[in-house]
Amino acid sequence: MHTPFKHRLFRATLLALVAATPLFSACSKDDNDEPTPDEENEQITTVMYTLTPVGGGTPVSVTYRDVDGDGGTAPTIGTLTLAPNTTYTGTLTLRDETKNPVVDTSAEILEEADEHLFVYEPTPADLLTVTRTDKDANNLEIGLQTRLETTAATTGTLKITLRHQPGVKDGSFAPGDTDVEVVFPTTVR
């Protein structure tokens, strides 16, 4: 026989699990490939930003990795180190490493480019300039491909946010919600 306390604990646990279930889903579409009204965010465990100096030079990469998600072990976050007064071409690669085989989430994002926008925010604002160079079918920027320009030697951070904007993408940060947000410590030297 259940005691009232155990019964309340069981109900509270069950309600918490039911409420948390949507948090473990990825963006999905129904069978006819139309967006569902309650589309969820992409499952992203790894973000890698690779920058190649224009005119030649050694590429620079920085990686964020959090395979077990919120509440697990701390994520691994690399430091982005760039040369001053240099222009780079950039490529973002995103993965879901909870799956076997690993899912290339950046390919899925490109397929649904009209629903996604990457936003780049350096701090301080004059740390560097990032320009998105790829566009979706509606001629709105995506941000998987970029052009990054540094200025003088300094330090700060670069925040990269992926906004999920099904049916509301307008080229700005505001509509939709966040699939992933990463802040890379950044040094220009």
pLDDT tens digit sequence for 122-164: 999 999 999 999 999 999 999 999 999 999 999 999 999 999 9
Give me the pLDDT at residue 67, please.
Answer: 87
Quick check: is 98 in a domain?
yes
Give me the pLDDT at residue 10, please.
Answer: 38
Give me the pLDDT at residue 35, please.
Answer: 40
Is the pLDDT reported for residue 25 higher than 60? no
Query: Could you tell me the pLDDT band of residue 37, with boundaries at 50, 70 and 90?
Result: very low
Residue with tokens 């430091």: 79
Quick check: is 169 in a domain?
yes
Quick check: is 94 in a domain?
yes
Q: What is the overall mean pLDDT for the chain?
A: 83
Is the pLDDT reported for residue 31 higher than 50? no
Q: Which of 70-74, 80-84, 122-126, 155-159 shows the lowest per-residue confidence on average (mean pLDDT)?
A: 70-74
Residue with tokens 């990032």: 130
172: domain range?
Answer: 42-188
Give me the pLDDT at residue 69, please.
Answer: 72
Residue 58, φ and ψ in degrees, nearest 5: -80, 125
Q: From CA 176, how far away is CA 179, in angstroms rounded?
A: 10
Give me the pLDDT at residue 72, please.
Answer: 81
Give me the pLDDT at residue 22, please.
Answer: 35
Query: Which residues, 6 or more positions from 54, have their beta carbon under 8 angstroms from its beta carbon?
Result: 86, 87, 88, 89
Report helix, strand or coil for 46. strand
Is the pLDDT reported for residue 36 higher than 50? no
Number of Cβ atoms within 10 Å of the Cβ of 145: 17
Quick check: is 91 in a domain?
yes
Task: Please tell me the pTM assigned to this model.
Answer: 0.78
Look at the chain and report how many structural domains it folds into. 1
pLDDT mean over 166-180: 96
Give me the pLDDT at residue 150, please.
Answer: 97
Quick check: is 80 in a domain?
yes
Quick check: is 17 in a domain?
no
Give me the pLDDT at residue 42, please.
Answer: 63
